[in-house]
């Protein structure tokens, strides 16, 4: 072969061929991203810059979905008020994100761990390693919902980048059969799986587009999903009165940092010094809202607890009602 022909053939081998046009049913997260088609030729700075730029797609994906996210917030707050639970279900990265969100709610908002639950295909071991075939087991998704004794008071959120994960589908079908409110969070804007959509009350689509590395949904898709989960659980807790202003007044002080934060909260919100705040907190058994009510309204602990109970745990309402009772 002539040298020029050899050079041309070598050049052709080094140059990626144009991507095959995607099938209409293929999730966009499985497509090749033209912006990162030569990712392996970049240096470290170039790779992280490309990833940083791509992550803006995750941020942008939430804005068109805000109304649907807000609807899920209202549904979640309603579930909490009727004594129900928020249950996240997913496989792989999606499952890990759900478990993470659930595990962060108790220390941040003082909610019982049983009220926000994360379920991952393959069980706890799957948090640290891939469990072969776990996401493909429809029956195990059904069994997970049955094991939790899901009921009509609950809300079950399936997290699946493709929207078609069998484990998640099984969980949603069983949750709907039991009367629970159902949610699907996906990044597949082309999803047309009637079997899934027929059992979903709320569908949130986070259209992040092709991933930095085709099919690696722990990247943009995972980032957008984490933001959506943060928004849902946090906003629902705010709506249920577990935040005052922007302060986490239902926090559980499980370490020195959080104990200091509790003292600071009482001092700042009640207008007392930290030494006095510590005394109120000790009398209140560490309950920040009770301590604030005692400090602001001169109530004893039992009366403050009763005032909070009448106000459904909402500090702002309890402060207003206590003030009205005084006048």
CATH of the domain at 196: 3.40.50.10490
Residue 249 lies inside a defined structural domain of this protein = no
Contact of 105 with 111, CB cutoff 8 Å: yes
Same domain, 287 and 216: no
Contact of 88 with 157, CB cutoff 8 Å: yes
Q: Which residue has the tokens 């009350």?
A: 201
Q: Which of 239, 268, 294 is the last residue of a domain?
A: 239
Q: What is the pLDDT along the chain (327 residues), one digit of tens a residue?
A: 555 544 444 444 444 444 444 555 678 888 899 999 999 999 999 999 999 999 999 999 999 999 999 999 999 999 999 999 999 999 999 999 999 999 999 999 999 999 999 999 999 999 999 888 889 899 999 999 999 999 999 999 999 999 989 999 999 999 999 999 999 999 998 888 787 889 999 999 999 999 999 999 999 999 999 999 999 999 999 999 999 999 999 988 889 999 999 999 999 999 999 999 999 999 999 999 999 999 999 999 999 999 999 999 999 999 999 876 664
Same domain, 263 and 210: no
Q: What pLDDT sits at residue 18?
A: 44
d(CA 248, CA 241): 10
Contacts of 114 (CB under 8 A, 6+ apart): 85
Known active-site residue 287: no
Q: Which of 239, 269, 294 is the last residue of a domain?
A: 239
DSSP bridge partners of 276: none
Residue 158 lies inside a defined structural domain of this protein = yes
**Local structure of 131: helix, strand or coil:** coil
Give the number of domains in the chain: 2
d(CA 135, CA 125): 13
Same domain, 98 and 210: yes
Same domain, 65 and 213: yes
Which of the following is catalytic: 30, 31, 129, 135? 135
Residue 166 lies inside a defined structural domain of this protein = yes
d(CA 237, CA 231): 10
Q: What pLDDT sits at residue 257?
A: 93
d(CA 201, CA 96): 23
Domain that holds residue 261: 256-326
Residue 158: φ, ψ to 5°: -85, 135
Same domain, 285 and 154: no
Same domain, 68 and 187: yes
Q: Which residue has the tokens 């049983």?
A: 114
- DSSP-derived letter for residue 96 is H
Known active-site residue 321: no
pTM of structure: 0.87
Which of the following is catalytic: 6, 30, 104, 189? 104
């Amino acid at each position: 072969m002539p040298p020029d022909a050899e050079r041309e053939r070598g050049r052709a081998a080094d140059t990626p061929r144009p991507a095959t046009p995607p099938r209409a049913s293929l999730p966009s997260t499985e497509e090749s991203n033209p912006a990162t088609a030569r990712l392996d030729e970049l240096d470290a700075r170039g790779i992280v810059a490309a990833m940083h730029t791509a992550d803006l797609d995750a941020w942008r994906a939430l804005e068109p979905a805000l109304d649907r996210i807000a609807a899920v917030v209202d549904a979640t707050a309603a579930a909490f008020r009727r004594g129900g639970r928020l249950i996240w279900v997913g496989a792989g990265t999606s499952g890990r994100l759900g478990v993470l969100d659930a595990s962060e709610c108790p220390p941040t908002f003082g909610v019982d761990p049983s009220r926000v639950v994360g379920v991952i295909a393959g069980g706890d071991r799957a948090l640290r390693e891939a469990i072969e075939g776990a996401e493909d087991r429809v029956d195990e998704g059904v069994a997970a919902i049955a094991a939790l004794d899901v009921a009509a008071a609950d809300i079950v959120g399936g997290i699946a980048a493709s929207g078609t994960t069998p484990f998640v589908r099984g969980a949603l079908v069983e949750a709907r059969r039991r009367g629970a409110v159902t949610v699907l969070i996906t990044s597949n804007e082309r999803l047309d799986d009637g079997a899934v959509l027929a059992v979903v009350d709320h569908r949130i689509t986070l259209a992040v587009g092709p991933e930095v590395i085709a099919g690696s949904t722990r990247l943009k898709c995972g980032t957008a999903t984490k933001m959506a989960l943060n928004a849902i659980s946090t906003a629902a807790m705010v709506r249920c009165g577990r935040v005052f202003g922007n302060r986490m007044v239902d926090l559980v002080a499980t370490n020195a940092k959080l104990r200091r934060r509790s003292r600071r909260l009482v001092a700042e919100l009640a207008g007392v010094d930290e030494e006095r705040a510590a005394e109120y907190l000790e009398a209140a058994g560490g309950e920040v809202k009770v301590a604030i009510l005692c400090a602001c309204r001169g109530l004893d602990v039992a009366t403050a607890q009763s005032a909070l109970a009448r106000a459904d745990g909402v500090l702002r309402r309890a402060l207003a009602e206590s003030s009205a009772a005084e006048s």
